[in-house]
Amino acid sequence: MKNYSRSIIATGIALALVACNNDSSTSGKDNLAPSNVAVKVGDAQVKGLLEKIKITNLDNQAETVDVEVYKGIRYATANRFQHSKLVEPTEQVDATAFGDICPQLGNEAIAQSEDCLSLNIWRPTGIPAGKELPVYVFIHGGSFESGAGSSALNQADTIVAQSISDTALGEREAPFIAVSLNYRVGLLGSKWVDAEVNPYGGNYGIGDQKRALEWVNKYIAHFGGDSSNVTVFGESAGAMSIGILQQDQDVAGPYYQRAIMQSNPYGIAYKDYGSAQRLQNQLEQHAQDQFGKSLAELSLAELKEVQAYAKQPTQLVTGLVTSFPATSGFLPFAPYIESREKSLIGGGKIDGYHIVGQPIHTEFHVPTVVGFNSDEANIFTAMLDWMFLYNITTEDPETGEQVPVVMPDVSQTDTTNISAPKEAVISLIKKYYWAVWAIDKELAAQMKAIQKELEAIPDEVVTRQNLYPIITRLFLGLQNQTANKALEFIDYAAFDDKTLTGKGEEGEKGALGNIGQIRKLANDLLFTCAAREVVDRQSTNHATTLYHYDYTSSINIWPFGHGMMGNLAALSCSNSNGTGKACHASELPFVFNKAVNIAGETIYPNQQDRQLMSTMSRIWFTDKLFEGYPRNSADNVLMINADGQFVEQLDWGNTLNAPQDARLGSSICEGISEQGILFDYMPK
């Protein structure tokens, strides 16, 4: 009976569409080439394309659906290192091709320019102005250094086509409109600016996102969208952006009414004002040394060279040590905290404009869905994996002694006296502490923390140490005790790293075990427990949902063949049987129902993958995602489980997050929070 009713509804809608547009109904033999369409926006005419999108509908039948797409609409303009200004459509707007992507390292095959602030709109065909369809706006990820709204993996043609088909079959009340956007990334997207000279700061990429949302709010009704029913969703840096946008009540609420944050690494802090200034000074000096120009005067190619310099391994390590709070140096071009206490000289406080505090303290102003994947941190720690092999030994065939494979001439037992340099640094800190405190309280506090750290280090250190504790301390900050506290517990403790897999002793896992330990530690502190804690801190004013993506796919969306770092990421996300782990961004092909990987290359999902792609790309754009699994005291989590099913997991902490170490209680997340490990390095 249900299929019969669906057929009647589908036939009626098809006839109505034919009456409006002779090209709207197609069969497999029809010409699938796009044709021109247009929308009136005030006095302007926006010219787009009608595209015929092939999907598999809910009756498991092949179907071709008409979708209108308006590509590369300029929503704002901006000069270099200036905040963007809204652009109003005038006269004829050609929206038949994606705009240039914002300048970034890599992606050289795609046109890049500083004139890149454009957005893309997918909508059902023939929708009149004022139709008031729901709107979904996607903010792409890419570590605030790369990505675009036109990337193959996040184009919205399939999901919009599905919403049209599902409505015709009676499974939705209405289809929806989808929007994606470009925003400035890298050095062009975030550069320290003296707030006393320019109170709007230098977080230009966040400002661009606000302008895009303002444009949607102002003009989406002309495309048939409802400006009071906008859901903003984003992954990785896109989710981080939404966490920042939640701070602005002129945006959260007025410009969007719901939010989805996929894989927001809440445990990665944002640089404070002073750290951003120090990075800026360093890059300005490098520009002068290399090119004899300021950053503002550089050509685009020269500017990208400076950005590449900041991404060199030595510079990243330096950033981890010198950027505050801890972990903030991990993403050098992420936004920075614009607010700060002024020095004693002059007094007062800088309030900031776009980002005024760490988002872990931000109250959500709209209903929000927050989630994480099981193996999020693998690609972030992948660049460190090879270092864990440093102490592996092999037997010398002549002497029978165990000799290190890497740098065999470096002793495993000798010690080095570091008392002289250690005391020199401590004396320097003591000498200048009060002078620095008078002009920069944040830096002075950091100096004092480093002094305590140095004082705790023994004068005699082993030349060849287990690198896992050292790397962990560098990663989580030398100016706090986060790493030291975490390493005390079995769940994160170091294994003997002189063999690859251990010596066969009970519980011993060797160097590979340490790779697993740092992945787990980073995953818990940066993603899993961080997201859970932020959600549980929210008041009951707005509903929240916490989800856990645990699906193991037949494919790995992180492909091999894209440089050393790319290969390390691909390896870290591959299971031994060739399947893909639930790594960072691995849910994106399922959200957008796109059989492409992170590089835009075709992938070949199996039947179970395709089923989840069909399911997830529908549920994600329904009210059920927000209303079906509200977070409550039962520690309930929406699971996308290993079998690709959407299920509600009650008592998630005790069931799926139980620790090995009894001192952490019944849940790792609750344990590390109670032990003062989680967010220990964040300002209170």
Q: Which are the catalytic amino acids? A: 236
Where do we find the tokens 């090209």?
A: 23
Measured between alpha carbons, how far is residue 582 from residues 240, 374, 534, 586 in Å? 19, 5, 22, 6
Strands 133-139 and 225-235 turn out to be: parallel
50 half-sphere exposure, CB direction, 13 A CA radius: 20
Strands 133-139 and 258-262 turn out to be: unpaired
Rg (CA), the chain: 27
What is the C-alpha to C-alpha distance for residues 469 and 460, in angstroms, rounded to an integer?
Answer: 17
251 half-sphere exposure, CB direction, 13 A CA radius: 24
Asked if 585 and 556 count as a contact pair (C-beta separation under 8 A), the reply is no
What is the C-alpha to C-alpha distance for residues 524 and 595, in angstroms, rounded to an integer?
Answer: 29
Per residue in 67-87, is it b (16+ CB within 10 Å) or e — as a string? Answer: bbbbbbbbbbebebeebbeeb
Question: At residue 654, what is the residue type?
Answer: N
CA-nearest of 312, 310, 107 to 192 is: 310
| Cβ-based neighbour number of residue 371 at 10 Å | 24
Asked if 180 and 153 count as a contact pair (C-beta separation under 8 A), the reply is no
CA-nearest of 142, 260, 265, 159 to 547 is: 260
DSSP reduced 3-state for 571:
helix
Six-digit token string for 199: 């109170």
The H-assigned helical ranges of 584-623 are 588-592, 607-619
Per residue in 9-44, is it b (16+ CB within 10 Å) or e — as a string? Answer: ebeebeeebeeeeeebeeeeeeeeebeebebebeeb
What is the C-alpha to C-alpha distance for residues 126 and 224, in angstroms, rounded to an integer?
Answer: 9
Asked if 45 and 226 count as a contact pair (C-beta separation under 8 A), the reply is no
Q: Is the peptide bond before 103 cis (omega within 30 degrees of 0)?
A: no
Question: At residue 279, what is the residue type?
Answer: L
What is the C-alpha to C-alpha distance for residues 377 and 358, in angstroms, rounded to an integer?
Answer: 20
The H-assigned helical ranges of 349-440 are 378-381, 419-439
Residue 420: exposure state from Cβ atoms within 10 A (0-12, 13-18, ≥19):
exposed
Asked if 314 and 322 count as a contact pair (C-beta separation under 8 A), the reply is no
Cα end-to-end distance, the chain, whole Å? 59
Strands 544-549 and 368-373 turn out to be: parallel
What is the C-alpha to C-alpha distance for residues 231 and 227, in angstroms, rounded to an integer?
Answer: 10
Six-digit token string for 586: 């691995």
CA-nearest of 536, 550, 554 to 587 is: 550
Measured between alpha carbons, how far is residue 269 from residues 24, 33, 365, 438 in Å? 49, 47, 21, 25
CA-nearest of 66, 62, 47 to 124 is: 66
Question: At residue 48, what is the residue type?
Answer: G
Residue 204: exposure state from Cβ atoms within 10 A (0-12, 13-18, ≥19):
buried
